[in-house]
Amino acid sequence: MRPSFHPRLINGPFDDPGLFVSFLFENRAILFDLGDIYTLSARDILKVTHVFISHTHMDHFAGFDRLLRLFLGRDKNLYLFGPEGFLRNVEGKLAGYEWNLVKNFYYRFTLFATEVRHDCLLTNQYLCQNRFLPAGDSEKMNFTGILHAEPAFSISAMVLDHSIPCLGFTIKERFHVNIKKDRVSGLGLEIGPWLGQFKQALFNGQDPESEFEVKFGKDESGKKRYILGDLAKQIALITPGQKITYISDVIYHKSNVEKIVSFAKGADHLFIEAGFLEQDRDIAQKKFHLTAWQAGRIAKKARVKQFTLFHFSPRYMGQDHLLQKEARDAFDGYE
C-beta separation of 162 from 67 below 8 A:
no
Nearer to Zn ion, 84 or 249 (CB): 249
CA gap 48, 59 in Å, rounded: 19
Instruction: Tell me: does residue 6 bind Zn ion (CB under 5 A).
Output: no
Q: Which stretch binds Zn ion (CB under 5 A): 53-61, 100-108, 116-124, 176-184?
A: 53-61
Shortest distance (Å) from residue 162 CB to Zn ion: 5
**Rounded CA gap, 245 and 168, in Å?**
7
The interface region with Zn ion, picked from 20-28, 55-63, 199-207, 318-326 by CB under 5 A, is: 55-63
CB of 112 to Zn ion, least distance (A): 24
For Zn ion, give the closer residue by CB, 199 or 289: 289
Q: How far is the CB of 18 from Zn ion (least distance, A)?
A: 10
Residue with Cβ nearer Zn ion (8 or 57):
57
Question: Cβ of residue 249: shortest distance to Zn ion, in angstroms?
Answer: 4
By CB under 5 A, name the one of 57, 131, 183, 224 that touches Zn ion: 57
Q: Which amino acid is at 4?
A: S
Q: Looking at 84, 173, 249, 326, which residue binds Zn ion (CB under 5 A)?
A: 249
Q: How far is CA 328 from the centre of its chain?
A: 24
Which region among 110-118, 242-250, 296-304, 326-334 touches Zn ion (by CB under 5 A)?
242-250
**3-state class of 159 per DSSP?**
strand
Nearest Cα to Cα of residue 243 among 91, 21, 87: 21
Q: 56 or 242, CB closer to Zn ion? A: 56
Tell the smallest beta-carbon distance from residue 60 to Zn ion (Å): 6
Task: Quote the least distance from Cβ 117 to Zn ion, whole Å.
Answer: 18
Of 57 and 183, nearer to Zn ion (C-beta) is: 57
Q: Give dist(CA 288, CA 168) in Å, integer.
A: 15
Cβ at position 58, least distance to Zn ion in Å: 8
∠ CA 227-230-233, nearest 5°, is 150
Cα–Cα dist 95/132, whole Å: 8
Is residue 59 close enough to count as binding Zn ion by CB under 5 A?
Answer: yes
To the nearest whole angstrom, how small is the minimum distance from the Cβ of residue 286 to Zn ion? 13
Task: Tell me how far apart the alpha carbons of residues 227 and 236 are, in angstroms, rounded to a whole number.
Answer: 14
Cite the DSSP H helix spans in 98-253: 181-186, 194-203, 228-235
**What is the footprint of Zn ion within residues 125-164 (CB under 5 A)?**
none
Q: Which residues pair with 80 in a beta bridge?
A: 51, 113
Give the number of other CB atoms < 10 A from CB of residue 106.
Answer: 8
- Angle, helices 320-332 vs 292-301, to 10°: value is 30
- How many CA atoms lie within 13 Å of 108's alpha carbon, on the beta-carbon side? 5
Distances from the Cα of 258 to the Cα of 40, 41, 174, 185, 254, angstroms: 34, 37, 24, 47, 6
Residue whose CB is less far from Zn ion, 59 or 268:
59
Size of the site for Zn ion (CB under 5 A): 3
- Interface with Zn ion, residue 287, by CB under 5 A: no
CB of 241 to Zn ion, least distance (A): 29
Q: In the complex with Zn ion, which residue's Cβ is closer, 167 or 236?
A: 167
Of 233 and 286, the one with the shorter C-beta distance to Zn ion is 286
Nearest-angstrom CA–CA distance, 298 and 26: 32
Name the residues that contact Zn ion, by CB under 5 A.
Answer: 57, 59, 249
